[in-house]
Every structure is written in C-alpha cells, then in structure tokens.
Amino acid sequence: MAYISIAVWRDLTDGHLYREGEEFPFDGREIPQQRLDELESGHNQAGLRLISAVEAQDDRMEAQTEDAPEEPTEAVKTAEAEQPAEEPEADGKEAEKPARSRSRKTK
C-alpha cells in the first residue's frame, strides 16, 4: 500500500521535510508497520495524523483521508525559526545591520 503526507512535517528518523501531498517515504524504502501506524493514527510526537493510505488509480494517487491541518506542526515552525539569518541581496550587497549602541561608563 502507498502513503502520502497529509500535513507539513519533518520526519525525525531521517530529517526529511514532507509537504502535503508528497509520497511517503520519499525514497521508496520499506517502513516498519509500527512506524506507519504511528504516523497514520496520530500516536506520534506531533500528535497529528501525518500520512494517509492511498490507492494508485490511473497512475495518480488519491488520498482517502480527513482534512489535513493547514499550519505546519510545531516541529516545523521550530526548525524554520532556526534557519540562518537573511542571505545577501541579489546585487551582492549585504543587508544593512542596525547600529549598536554602547553605554558609556560614568565616573
């Protein structure tokens, strides 16, 4: 049976970021039934259903699932917040940094 992601989430076993509608697993490897049950039932760290079983029909997958959450899970929000600061602009100039104020010592 095939599975697709029904939410935005990061797999803690391999670090892959799944987006809604993406095939699970992304690389086609065998996944233990216990792990599939965790992800399909919501009995996982996120507490949400993250994948759904699908049937292949006419070379496309059709999900048999309830509505998926539109917001990324907390784990994804945390991972995105840890991304490096802004990259230099396309013209090669770095974004201006705010001036730092220094306090003066008084006698």
Q: What are φ and ψ of residue 76, in 5° steps?
A: -70, -40
Question: Is residue 91 situated within a structural domain?
Answer: no
Which pair of structure tokens corresponds to residue 5?
């992601």
Q: Name every residue whose Cβ is closer than 8 Å to that of residue 100 and which is 6 or more positions away in sequence.
A: none
Q: Which domain holds residue 33?
A: 2-81
Q: How far apart are CA 5 and CA 17, in angstroms?
A: 10
Question: Is residue 96 situated within a structural domain?
Answer: no
How many domains does the structure of the chain reveal?
1
Question: Is residue 75 situated within a structural domain?
Answer: yes
- The yes-or-no verdict on residue 45 having pLDDT over 70 is yes
Residue 51, pLDDT score: 94
Question: Is residue 43 situated within a structural domain?
Answer: yes
Q: How far apart are CA 2 and CA 40, in angstroms?
A: 12
- The yes-or-no verdict on residue 23 having pLDDT over 90 is yes
Select the more confidently predicted residue: 59 or 4: 4
Question: Is residue 21 situated within a structural domain?
Answer: yes
Mean pLDDT of the 14-26 span? 93
Q: Name every residue whose Cβ is closer than 8 Å to that of residue 49 and which is 6 or more positions away in sequence.
A: 6, 7, 39, 40, 41, 42, 65, 66, 68
Please give the angle made by the CA atoms of 18, 1 and 61, to the nearest 5 degrees: 60
For the whole model, what pTM was predicted? 0.52
Question: Is residue 87 situated within a structural domain?
Answer: no
Question: Is residue 31 situated within a structural domain?
Answer: yes
Question: Is residue 16 situated within a structural domain?
Answer: yes
